[in-house]
Amino acid sequence: MTDAIAAFSHFSALTQFLLWIMLFLIVPGVCERLNVPGVLGFILLGWVLGPNGVGLLDPEALVSRMGSELGVGLLLFFVGFEIDFSLLKKARAQVAIFGLLTFGLPLAIGALVAHWAGFNLNASLLIGSLLASHTLLAYPVVERAGMVGRLSVVATAGATVFTDVAAMVVLAVCLLVHQTGFSEAIILKQLAQIAVFVPLMIFGASWLIKQLVHRVKLRFESQLLLFFVLVAGGSEAATLFGLDGIVGAFMAGIAARRAIQREEPTHVLKVVANTFLIPAFFMATGMLIQPSVLLDTLRQQPLFALGLTGALLAGKFIAAWATGRLYGYKRAEIGLCFSLTLPQVAATLAATTVAYRTVNAAKLPLISHEVLNAVLLLVVLTSIGGPLLTQYFVRRLAADDDTAVPADDAVAPAMVAAPP
């Protein structure tokens, strides 16, 4: 094995790239046969082949770094692109209440767990925010069952808008505090920069995109290049406002969605991103897994390691239960809302890796390797458990005699796609 690893390290960048492509061809089919999410397969593959496994892949290699950096930018771009703000106008009260609860409760409980485990206030808030957002990984299950018109599902999809945007704001502030230290003047300045940057991207950038696409009449291939420019430009613009690049990529996705209501222009880019660049980010993230560190955390800090999972389950369930009780959801519907908000994948992974790589003047990261491994464990557990629970509650609802939604109440939200 050592000889094989040494031989691989001497391969040219092109040969290593071709080997990565072969992995991206094989893994999705294997995951589909095993009925597990593709993201889980790529994370585990990164761990097995990375420096903490057999050591066949190097996270510092050019192909690893380029794929990871482009992948995380495109991942957050498409998270933003799939957000449909029109959802906030449909069932506004339910969207607002469920959004606040499913963001605020996991954040508060997770921050308390982290603080009790010995983390400072800034790191605790960041850790809590990692639990607050969610990825609608199991949304296709609901779509295939024909239940996307239920108001409870609309409220869940709409709540995703709030949780994703709010999580990015918390991330931006926590990164700043970690790098510069706490100062009311600096925090107020950062919040003012966010207040300028967000509408500038959502409204200004979307207007510019419309002009380029419709008036200049860009050709199809030029529109594809435009999206790469948006990801890079949004990331660079964010740094000018003191924000991390992934916040800019996220906002660029929202701006592109407002400017281009149809998904056709992004189809080819999405195929490229989902088949290579985003999986490269998941694999690079998997290379950071250290099972020995996770086991040590479980032994030395069981309150923290298990408490994060409990905080996520408790926060998301209480939010779904309270909203369901307020608006008369059935028990299975409450369970469906809970299961849909359970998976921690896209925004959680991106924010976690950025926080881990962000260091202060003393060269200390915002979150430790113990936190990184605990969050990756959450990703694995929720990406499996969430879809399974969703399938269960969908079957429960389908079995009810009165599951049909009155025509006046039915709405059809846009698909909020999950990463591969």
Q: Which residue do the tokens 């290593």 mark?
A: 16
Token readout for 146 is 């024909």
Q: Is 345:137 a contact under the CB 8 Å cutoff? A: yes
- Other beta carbons less than 10 A from residue 210's beta carbon: 14
Looking at residue 314, its pLDDT comes to 94
- The DSSP output letter for 63 is H
pLDDT in tens, 301-353: 777 878 888 999 999 999 999 999 998 888 889 999 999 898 887 778 778 88
Looking at residue 156, its pLDDT comes to 84
The overall average pLDDT reported for the chain is 77
Q: Is 88:260 a contact under the CB 8 Å cutoff? A: no
Looking at residue 244, its pLDDT comes to 66
CA distance 128 to 110: 4
Looking at residue 418, its pLDDT comes to 43
- The DSSP output letter for 359 is B
Looking at residue 63, its pLDDT comes to 65
Nearest to 281 by CA among 358, 354, 229: 354
Residues of the chain below pLDDT 50: 1-2, 4, 401, 403-420
CA distance 209 to 252: 10
Looking at residue 263, its pLDDT comes to 56
Looking at residue 32, its pLDDT comes to 78
CA distance 252 to 227: 9
CA distance 361 to 365: 10
User: Domains of the chain, with CATH numbers?
Assistant: 72-399 (1.20.1530.20)
Q: Which residue do the tokens 């099972």 mark?
A: 291
Q: What angle do CA 237, 239, 241 make, to 5 degrees?
A: 80
- DSSP per-residue letters across 73-90: HHHHHHHHHT--GGGGGS
Spatial neighbors of 25 by CB under 8 A, at least 6 apart, are none
What's the whole-model pTM score? 0.70
